[in-house]
Amino acid sequence: MLDRSTLYQIFELLPSPAIILLPDAPVYTIVDLNSGYVHLSASTKEQLIGRGFFDYFEKATGKDMSDDAGILNKVIQDKLPHETAVQRYEVPVPGTQIMKARYFRTTNVPVLNSDNEVAYIIRSVTEATENVAIKQKQERTKKNLKEASMLMSQGQELANFGNWQWDIINNKVSWTETLYHIYGLDKASFNATFEGYQQLLHPDDRERVYNHITEVLQTKRDVVFEERIIRPDGEIRYLKSWGKVQVNEQGKPVKMIGACLDITDHKLAEASLKNHFNAIEQQNKHLQDIAWIQSHIIRAPLARIMGLIELFKSYKSSEIDKNDLLDNILISAKELDGIIKDVTYKTENIVKNSTEIQ
């Protein structure tokens, strides 16, 4: 059996701060402590030995240590080691009056005498500050990721922008909630395969999109394309889609990821604008026709009228009949009137169409 001196040396060399207590509940008198515990508590042996454990540390830390008391009582009752949960302590920074939060777990081991009774309790301390910091960082990261995911989901919903994945090996397709909304589907009604996705495409776009996907799988290059889908209610929506292939170590495509943006409103606005431009071009053509009529067709009867009037002014009885001149002037005047009415009609139509366009 080891002598008392050897046991004390071992106690001093323990890598963890340790303190020896008497099992005199509820006092738990401090019998001894190693140098690690002296350093941790920023106290001296003379200050601690002979003091009640809770009398000193509850006053020093201002911390409720009822959980620690319960653990020490269990050690006496069970005669077995017991650990406390990780707890937060305000510990003085050596050489200063500054208190710093640190986290510790304690292991409380009974030392039995020859009568199998608890003679002492060795209470060793293991610091868990770094582990707690790591856990807190992980929790913050998890919270940040959750918030980022929520913001992304909200952003996708507002922008009508959804993500998708295609597990090529197992032919399984997965969508974000926003993408289901874009397609006007719920999860239960979607055949989550590549073939199921193709059935949702406009028939005129299926072959083209299939060729795009096939090319991506062969070339491993990213792709951007437009496609039309048909919702269950028959509505046609326009999407702009992006795709990127992922390969395994052998270079074989195993997954394809991408996103879809609903550009239906943009497409409809573009078509409306195109119709607007077409209407303007048509009006310009009518205006050009009117300008041509004014510069060419109107001039012909007008020139004849002017010539007939000059002839009438120089009329002599021996020359042509005056009535014939008047008849010709009237004919040219009626022709001019018809042309003017036609120009007026076309102009009114242009004004009417211009109002409708606006």
Q: Is the backbone of residue 351 left (phi > 0), alpha (psi -120 to 50) or beta? A: alpha
Q: What is the pLDDT of residue 318?
A: 46
The vertex-102 CA angle with 99 and 106, nearest 5°, equals 125
Handedness of CA 245, 249, 254, 259 (dihedral sign): negative
AA identity, residue 163: N
- Is 124 in a helix, a strand, or coil? strand
CATH fold of 268-357: Helix Hairpins (1.10.287)
pLDDT above 90 (res 336): no
Gap between the Cα atoms of 54 and 134, Å rounded: 30
φ/ψ of residue 118, rounded to 5: -75, 115
With a CB cutoff of 8 Å and minimum separation 6, the contacts of 279 are: 353, 357
Q: What is the pLDDT of residue 238?
A: 93
Gap between the Cα atoms of 163 and 285, Å rounded: 47
Gap between the Cα atoms of 63 and 79, Å rounded: 27
Q: Do domains 4-127 and 268-357 have the same CATH topology?
A: no
* Global pTM value: 0.43
Gap between the Cα atoms of 356 and 358, Å rounded: 5
With a CB cutoff of 8 Å and minimum separation 6, the contacts of 357 are: 276, 279, 280
Q: Enumerate the domain spans of the chain.
A: 4-127, 129-159, 160-262, 268-357
pLDDT above 50 (res 201): yes
Q: What is the pLDDT of residue 86?
A: 85
Token pair, residue 10, equals: 């071992």
pLDDT above 50 (res 151): no
DSSP character string of 267-290: HHHHHHHHHHHHHHHHHHHHHHHH
CB 211 within 8 A of CB 183: no
**Which residue has tokens 């919702």?**
231
Dmax (CA) for the chain in angstroms is: 168
- Is 150 in a helix, a strand, or coil? helix
Instruction: Please state, for a pLDDT cut of 90, what percent of the chain lies above it.
Output: 30
Superfamily for the 4-127 domain: PAS domain (3.30.450.20)
CA separation, residue 72 to residues 60, 79, 102, 333 (Å): 19, 10, 22, 125
pLDDT above 70 (res 296): no
Token pair, residue 302, equals: 């007008």
pLDDT above 70 (res 284): no
φ/ψ of residue 243, rounded to 5: -140, 145
Q: What is the pLDDT of residue 13?
A: 76
| Bridge partners for 236 per DSSP | 230
Whole-number mean pLDDT of the chain? Answer: 79
> What length is written for the chain?
358
Q: When comparing pLDDT for 332 and 31, which is higher?
A: 31
CATH fold of 160-262: Beta-Lactamase (3.30.450)
Q: What is the pLDDT of residue 189?
A: 83
CA separation, residue 304 to residues 291, 295, 315, 332 (Å): 20, 15, 16, 7
The vertex-124 CA angle with 120 and 128, nearest 5°, equals 155
pLDDT above 60 (res 76): yes
Per-position b or e across 150-187, b if 16+ CB within 10 A of its CB: eeeeeebeeebbbbbebebeeeebebbebbebbbbbee
CA separation, residue 316 to residues 183, 311, 319, 330 (Å): 89, 10, 5, 20
Q: What is the pLDDT of residue 289?
A: 66
- Is 95 in a helix, a strand, or coil? coil
